[in-house]
Amino acid sequence: MHKDITIIGVPLDLGAGRRGVDMGPSAIRYANVKERLENAGYHVKDLGNLYVPTPETYTIENPKLKYLKEVKKVNEELANQVKRIIEEGRFPLVLGGDHSIAIGTIAGVSSHYPNMGVIWFDAHGDINTPETSPTGNIHGMPLAVSLGKGHIDLVNILNFSPKIKPENIVIIGARDLDKGEREFIKTNGIRVYTMHEIDRIGMAKVMEETIHYLKDKTDGVHLSFDLDCLDPNDAPGVGTPVTGGVTYREGHLAMEMIAEANFLISAEFVEVNPILDVRNRTAEIAVGLMASAFGEKLL
């Protein structure tokens, strides 16, 4: 893995149904992300945050695709930045922000790695289209958009589509899928490890299988980590908590196994909501998980 990391914050919450994840990048920086990764042996450059408009100054034009124009604009900018970071030979680490920012991150990464893999840790599928979404919140749509399904303005960011292949995706930690998402997953043959499989075979086996499934057939893997994949008892500071999630320990094991696999090309940590957090615990957990994913070791 690259020893040079570039951090970029995206304080976007227009893709989510409630306010707060716009403060995620600050909370994660306050939890010392840069120092932690430097101590793990990396050179870290922090570019600061992208410009993101404030919801109060905009109105929802289309309730099926809330804040489409603004979300599109931010993701376009993010895609270009991520592309540039990779061109510089550095590793992009994106701090969210709501999960709609995966649209931009994946677009930027995919422009270099057309056969990229994606490991998507999430309580949700985030694979809705405007037709199937029960909320119209774009953070529930980024995987579908990256697969080429959704509003043309989002799908066509960087002027190519699709960005990823269904057989190069693994979703881990799912326990809240909408009806349309279940159908999408089935018709496209996307691999999903729900909480059922994690309970049944354990996180170690889930990660062994995931790594085996992606390692040889992709040209590198993007890690998209929604903090709501964790159990809300461990990580309370998320906008859409769902009971019965991945534990702190399972999360770390998964990240350590990803570090061992040595195939990451990019990563993003999203949906940290400091308003709902308890003394910045969720942001601190996010930083710990990053450190593990980047190979931090006790001994």
Ligand X SMILES: NC(=[NH2+])NCCC[C@H](N)C(=O)O
Is 76 an interacting residue with respect to ligand X (CB under 6 A)?
A: no
Among 64-72, 220-228, 249-257, 287-295, which window interacts with Mn ion (CB under 5 A)?
Answer: 220-228
Residue 226 assigned ligand-binding role: yes
Rounded-to-integer distance, Cα 169 and Cα 179, Å:
19
Burial of 247 (0-12, 13-18, 19+ CB in 10 A): middle
Is 66 an interacting residue with respect to ligand X (CB under 6 A)?
A: no
Cα dihedral 196→201→207→212 (10° resolution):
-110
76 vs 181 by CB, closer to ligand X = 181
Is 70 an interacting residue with respect to Mn ion (CB under 5 A)?
A: no
Going by the DSSP 8-state scheme, the letter that residue 207 receives in this structure is H
Is 176 an interacting residue with respect to Mn ion (CB under 5 A)?
A: no
Largest CA distance in the chain: 54
6 vs 273 by CB, closer to ligand X = 273
Rounded-to-integer distance, Cα 34 and Cα 44, Å:
6
Residue 199 assigned ligand-binding role: no
User: Minimum distance from CB of 235 to ligand X (Å)?
Assistant: 12
Both tokens of 76, joined, read 């376009």
Residue 99 assigned ligand-binding role: yes
44 vs 119 by CB, closer to Mn ion = 119
Residue 234 assigned ligand-binding role: no
Q: How many residues make contact with ligand X (CB under 6 A)?
A: 15
Residues 112-131 that bind Mn ion (CB under 5 A): 122-124, 126
Residue 176 assigned ligand-binding role: no
Q: Judge contact between 257 and 208, C-beta under 8 A.
A: yes
Give the one entry of ligand X, Mn ion, none that residue 70 binds, where binding means its C-beta sits below a cut-off of 5 to 8 angstroms depending on kind: none
Is 150 an interacting residue with respect to ligand X (CB under 6 A)?
A: no
User: Minimum distance from CB of 1 to ligand X (Å)?
Assistant: 26
* Nearest partner of 105 among 126, 124, 123, judged by Cα: 126
CA Rg, the chain, in Å? Answer: 17
Rounded-to-integer distance, Cα 232 and Cα 244, Å:
8
Residue 258 Cα distances to 123, 241, 290, angstroms: 19, 24, 11
The amino acid that residue 90 corresponds to is: R
Among 84-92, 120-128, 155-163, 184-192, which window interacts with ligand X (CB under 6 A)?
Answer: 120-128
Residue 126 assigned ligand-binding role: yes
Among 44-52, 131-139, 166-174, 277-285, which window interacts with ligand X (CB under 6 A)?
Answer: 131-139
Among 13, 22, 181, 226, binds Mn ion (CB under 5 A): 226
Is 137 an interacting residue with respect to ligand X (CB under 6 A)?
A: yes
- DSSP-H helix ranges across the chain: 24-30, 33-39, 68-87, 102-110, 142-146, 152-155, 179-188, 195-201, 203-215, 248-261, 281-293
141 vs 258 by CB, closer to ligand X = 141
Is 13 an interacting residue with respect to Mn ion (CB under 5 A)?
A: no
Spacing of C-alpha 90 from chain mean position: 19
Both tokens of 231, joined, read 């159990």
**Would you list which residues are annotated within the binding site for Mn(2+)?**
99, 122, 124, 126, 226, 228
Q: Which residues make up the interface to ligand X (CB under 6 A)?
A: 99, 124, 126, 128, 133-135, 137, 139-140, 178, 226, 228, 240, 271
Q: Which residues make up the interface to Mn ion (CB under 5 A)?
A: 99, 122-124, 126, 226, 228
